[in-house]
Structure 1
Amino acid sequence: MILRSEKFQVEVTEDKTFTIQSTDNKPYDILFNPENLSWRDITKAFRIKIKSNDRERDIILIGSLYCYDADCGILEENKLIVLMNCAVTIINIEECKILRYKKFSDSGCYFGIYEFQNGYIVYGELEIVKLDKSLNKEWDFSGADIFVTQDKNVPFQISGDKIKLYDWNGVYYELDMNGKVIYDTFKINEVSPQILDI
């Protein structure tokens, strides 16, 4: 993933060769391990390459094995917001230091983080989570099944101030900016129980 601002270009990729405490690792300027994970833990490492007019820095960020580098970051001026599964790290890329680290959940896998309504939306397998700029959870939403599809429907999409979702069974949901359901085909198609006379 490549992110650009006026001052910086940031590239986030997985370093598949990195092992904690190995002498065979590529050289990095800075290593961030906010959870203090060890070589015994199952981890993944993101290489964060920062380019500016006057220098280049290489950072390694250690986190959960269950994270993906495709939609993992947001660049806001001199801050890089990085999602690694259920944890978010905010890095000051000018000073190369962690400003904030927070775990927001303990369940499921999380695939991407996006700017949304003065905060962030995190797209997860089991839930959609809205975080504020301080990484506090404002709301979450879960459907009848996981937000992964087995057909051509796009499982997660932000459209203006709405979030559009499809789950595994093809159920469509639409949320407003406050996480309230606008449309839910599961509830529309639900059959109300019949009262049987005996």
Structure 2
Amino acid sequence: MTFEIEKYQVELLNKSDYNPDSNDNLNKYLKNYLTESDFKLPTIIGITILENGTEINSAIIGTEGAVTELHKTSQIIESNRILICCCDSVFCLDLPTLNLNWKTKVDKATAFEIFKIENGYIIHGEMEITRINNDGKIIWQNGGADIFVSQNEKDDFEVKDNLVKATDWNNRIYKWNLNGVEIE
């Protein structure tokens, strides 16, 4: 995936085959934010910053938890930073330096999506719906009777009109206001 932000191009690539202990990796990254683990990390994301087609910075991120795929709502790119769902966490990196501002574990399994709201973000996780502030601090987390994944692959999550709506595996619908209070 490639994004244009001001004078930079931001490239995100699934690099789950990346081995931090190998010299045979196709790409080399200037910054490494991989969690040390006795197990193979399920999702590893390579980030490259280009200016006028020339690479000026790169980083690799990964942590424990379940797999997170790159898609249109798995990251938010702002003028001065990028927030990326990766496994059980959200990483926040400065643009264009790719210095790690913070990393917050937001789910017991995996974080699927991130949405910008006033003064923070809502994260759609497999086990929990989480609100964090702009500094990555958890404001609230809510779980359900089952995982927040739909059996019929339709839209099962939305943030709209100061309302968070999620559907669990058994098609139970949950609604919270932005303070995390369940409504209806």
TM-score, normalising length: structure 2: 0.85
2: CA distance, partners of 1:54 / 1:122: 32
Give the equivalent residue in structure 2 for 1:20: 20
Give the equivalent residue in structure 1 for 2:46: 47
Verify: 1:167 aligned to 2:161, yes or no.
no
1: CA distance, partners of 2:82 / 2:89: 14
Q: Write the mapping of 1:87-126 to structure 2, written as runs, cut at 5 A.
A: 87-105=89-107, 107-126=108-127
Is the Cα–Cα contact under 8 Å of residues 117 and 161 in structure 1 kept in the other structure? no
2: CA distance, partners of 1:159 / 1:45: 30
Is the Cα–Cα contact under 8 Å of residues 80 and 90 in structure 1 kept in the other structure? yes
Question: Deviation of residue 104 (structure 1)?
Answer: 4.1
1: CA distance, partners of 2:125 / 2:106: 12
2: CA distance, partners of 1:149 / 1:163: 16
1: CA distance, partners of 2:129 / 2:3: 23
Pairs aligned (count): 180
Is the Cα–Cα contact under 8 Å of residues 58 and 98 in structure 2 kept in the other structure? no
1:34/1:59 Cα in 2 relative to 1: closer, same or farther (>3 Å)? closer
Q: Which runs of 4+ in 1 moved over 3 A?
A: 1-4
1:60/1:152 Cα in 2 relative to 1: closer, same or farther (>3 Å)? closer
Question: Deviation of residue 34 (structure 1)?
Answer: 4.9
Q: Write the mapping of 1:1-198 to structure 2, written as runs, cut at 5 A.
A: 1-35=1-35, 37=36, 40-43=38-41, 44-53=43-52, 55-56=54-55, 57-64=57-64, 66=66, 67-70=68-71, 71-105=73-107, 107-151=108-152, 153-183=154-184
1: CA distance, partners of 2:69 / 2:40: 15
Unmatched 5+ residue regions in structure 1?
Answer: 184-198
TM-score, normalising length: structure 1: 0.79
Is the Cα–Cα contact under 8 Å of residues 11 and 49 in structure 1 kept in the other structure? yes
Structure having the higher Rg: 1
Residue identity matched to 1:42: K
What's the Cα RMSD here?
2.2
Is the Cα–Cα contact under 8 Å of residues 65 and 88 in structure 2 kept in the other structure? no
1:121/1:22 Cα in 2 relative to 1: closer, same or farther (>3 Å)? same
Which protein has the bigger strand share? 2
Is the Cα–Cα contact under 8 Å of residues 93 and 100 in structure 2 kept in the other structure? yes
Question: Deviation of residue 156 (structure 1)?
Answer: 0.8
Unmatched 5+ residue regions in structure 2?
Answer: none
Q: Percent of aligned pairs with the same residue?
A: 26
